Amino acid sequence: MNDWQTTIGLEIHVQLLTNSKIFSSSSTAYGSKPNRQASYVDVGMPGTLPVLNKSVIKKAIEFGLAINGSISKKSIFARKNYFYPDLPKNYQISQLDLPIVEGGFITIEGDKGILKKINITRAHLEEDAGKSIHSEQNNCTYIDLNRAGTPLLEIVSEPEISSALEAVQYMKKIHSIVTFLQICDGNMQEGSFRCDANVSINKKGDKQLGTRTELKNINSFKFVEKAINYEIRRQIDIVEEGSKVIQETRLYDEEKDITKSMRSKEEANDYRYFPDPDLLPIEIDSDYITQIKSDLPDLPDVKEKYYRTEYNLTDEQLNIILNKPSFIKIVDEILDISKIDPIKIINYFISSLYPKINKDNFSLDENPYLPKSFCETIDAIENGLIPKHSLKKIIDEIFLNKDSVSEILQKYSSEEHDDDLIDQTISDIIENNKKQVDEYKSGKTKILGFFVGQVLKNIKGVNPSIVKDKIIKALNSV
């Protein structure tokens, strides 16, 4: 086994997160009843024409820029012709020559633990097909065209991946980029992110690559690893037995953990690609690209380095923060405003604010004051002005409240107190500070602050105004 080396190229299909389909106005939402989201265009009714949903262009450009790819100023759609029942027109609108993104790369952690650059050949736009649902029971096939026309970005890597683990690393990296940029929801179970793997083996040192097989439609990181590993083993066994690997398309059977032949090259389609005469070329001007570039958030890689070196944030914290650009934006502001220890404030953030902004898909535009309110609240807690257990309730209140946070804090600081504890503490302090009591008695009322401070120091989160009242009472009765 050690004599062999593996060469893998991945084609990842990313469903772009748009409200409507790539060439029609029907919804792309997942899970509705069959064929409820298929318009005349999606069904391929005679005479219908595709009309490009422009929002897919922006998303493709964002991806292209994020991987340092080049954006084609002129890009064209082509028809890929093949017959399949869930492909209503019996051609798929895709791109062949002049795809929207050419070139680019990402960096993954390679097998030897060192960083490895994987080049990306291209990324192109296309429409998804529908689904065929086979029923053994009724001996028939049902067709659901809800998915037909969902926009896809197909990302094609160079054959530079050397193992199943590297393939998983690569796939995870692409997944994190497209979900981070919010151009895809990343939901692999619903098929929003799926991949085909081209796998071949050859002897170490051989320049000539072995015959490749294509593993189709794998929709989890785990299965990518298993399918590729099975396929490598299978190919090595074949060659070691003196046979030849056949170029073919194979399907991974998740239950049996094997790959099965789907069709061989001889049966493969000649797709008869040609430019789609129904669609004009996409022309993208450089100002538009520049604008998208300037709006593009720093990718997790860049941010990670910054948080580590500037703030010493922990792996655990980074794992959460680096998930979404909206988290990063808020965290950046919090770190900027807060005067307390960064690790501490981020821990507060993760335990209190993060669950809420994650759940509500909060964006800073909805309440730009939130980071400041949050920092003031944490300051008040750290200074013992309000009890820690009130934090959750305060977060709920400051969440969409754009007014000053001080009133809210005031309310919570007076909420609960333990009279006996306060009284006992006050009497202890009076007992131990006779000199200050005398000063007070002699008319130096400013000394009152000293007593309040002492109490607050002993009882975290107690309301200062209640303490003040009680101290005056106690001092007067001495």
Partner 1 sequence: MEIYKKSISELSNLLDKKSISSVEMTKYFINRINSYDSKLNSFITIDEESAEKEAKEADEIISKKKHSLLTGIPIAHKDLFSTKGTLTTCGSKMLENYIPPFNATVVEKLKKKGMVSLGKTNMDEFAMGSSNESSFFGHVKNPWNLEKVPGGSSGGSAAAVAARLVPIATGSDTGGSIRQPASFCGLTGLKPTYGSVSRYGMIAYASSLDQGGPIGKSAKDCAKIYDVIKGFDKNDPTSNKKTSLKSIDFKSHKEYAKNITIGLPKEYFSEELDENILSKAQDSIKVFKKMGFKFKDISLSSNNLSIPAYYIIASAEASSNLSRYDGVKFGYRCKNPKNLEDLYMRTRKEGFGKEVKKRIMIGAYALSSGYYDEYYIRALKIRRIIRDSFMSAFNEVDYIFAPTSPSTAFNIGEKTSNAVEMYLSDIYTTSINLAGLPAASIPVGMINDLPVGMQIIGNYFSENTILNIANSFQEETDWHKKIPGEFDNE
The string over 302-323, giving b where at least 16 C-beta atoms fall within 10 Å of a residue's C-beta and e elsewhere, is: ebbeebeeebebeeebbebbbb
Mask for 81-120, x = binds partner 1 (CB under 8 A):
x-x-x--xxxx-----------------------------
In this chain, which stretch among 44-52, 226-234, 396-404, 456-464 interacts with partner 1, using CB under 8 A? 44-52
Segment holding 473, helix H or strand E: helix 464-477
**Least separation, in Å, of the C-beta of 399 and partner 1?**
41
407 to 373, 387, 392, 411, 464: CA distances (angstroms): 11, 15, 16, 6, 14
Interface residue with partner 1, options 97, 278, 295, 428 (CB under 8 A): 278
**Least separation, in Å, of the C-beta of 272 and partner 1?**
4
Inter-residue contact 195 to 223 (CB < 8 Å): no
In this chain, which stretch among 113-121, 272-280, 369-377, 415-423 interacts with partner 1, using CB under 8 A? 272-280
CA dihedral for 226, 228, 229, 233, sign (positive or negative): positive
Site membership for partner 1, residue 46 (CB under 8 A): yes
In this chain, which stretch among 39-47, 120-128, 230-238, 256-264 interacts with partner 1, using CB under 8 A? 39-47
Whole-angstrom distance, CA of residue 295 vs CA of residue 69? 17
Q: Which residues are 135's β-sheet partners?
A: 140
Site membership for partner 1, residue 162 (CB under 8 A): no
**Least separation, in Å, of the C-beta of 24 and partner 1?**
10
**Least separation, in Å, of the C-beta of 240 and partner 1?**
34
Site membership for partner 1, residue 173 (CB under 8 A): no
In this chain, which stretch among 157-165, 211-219, 265-273, 409-417 interacts with partner 1, using CB under 8 A? 265-273
Site membership for partner 1, residue 45 (CB under 8 A): yes
Interface residue with partner 1, options 50, 99, 149, 387 (CB under 8 A): 50
Whole-angstrom distance, CA of residue 223 vs CA of residue 230? 10
Inter-residue contact 118 to 110 (CB < 8 Å): no
Site membership for partner 1, residue 470 (CB under 8 A): no
Site membership for partner 1, residue 143 (CB under 8 A): yes
- Residue type present at position 57: I
In this chain, which stretch among 45-53, 319-327, 360-368, 383-391 interacts with partner 1, using CB under 8 A? 45-53
Phi and psi based region of residue 223 (left: phi greater than 0; alpha: psi -120 to 50; beta: remaining)? alpha
In this chain, which stretch among 103-111, 275-283, 331-339, 465-473 interacts with partner 1, using CB under 8 A? 275-283
Closest Cα to residue 67, out of 127, 115, 10, 123? 123
Whole-angstrom distance, CA of residue 166 vs CA of residue 118? 10
Question: Please, is 212 exposed, middle or buried when counting C-beta atoms within 10 Å of its C-beta (0-12, 13-18, 19+)?
Answer: buried
Interface residue with partner 1, options 79, 122, 216, 226 (CB under 8 A): 79
Number of chain positions touching partner 1 (CB under 8 A):
28
Taking the least distance from each CB to partner 1, the nearer of 92 and 317 is 92
Segment holding 333, helix H or strand E: helix 325-337
**Least separation, in Å, of the C-beta of 90 and partner 1?**
4
Taking the least distance from each CB to partner 1, the nearer of 1 and 49 is 49
Site membership for partner 1, residue 40 (CB under 8 A): yes
Interface residue with partner 1, options 133, 209, 246, 280 (CB under 8 A): 280
In this chain, which stretch among 277-285, 306-314, 374-382, 412-420 interacts with partner 1, using CB under 8 A? 277-285
Closest Cα to residue 212, out of 193, 226, 228? 228
Residue 248: phi, psi to the nearest 5? -160, 170
3-state secondary structure of 383: coil
**Least separation, in Å, of the C-beta of 49 and partner 1?**
5
- Residue type present at position 126: E
Site membership for partner 1, residue 421 (CB under 8 A): no
Q: Which residues are 156's β-sheet partners?
A: 11, 122
Whole-angstrom distance, CA of residue 412 vs CA of residue 406? 10
**Least separation, in Å, of the C-beta of 34 and partner 1?**
14
* Greatest C-alpha distance within the chain: 106
Inter-residue contact 235 to 245 (CB < 8 Å): yes
Residues found near partner 1 in the complex (CB under 8 A): 40, 43-52, 79, 81, 83, 85, 88-91, 143, 270, 272-274, 277-280
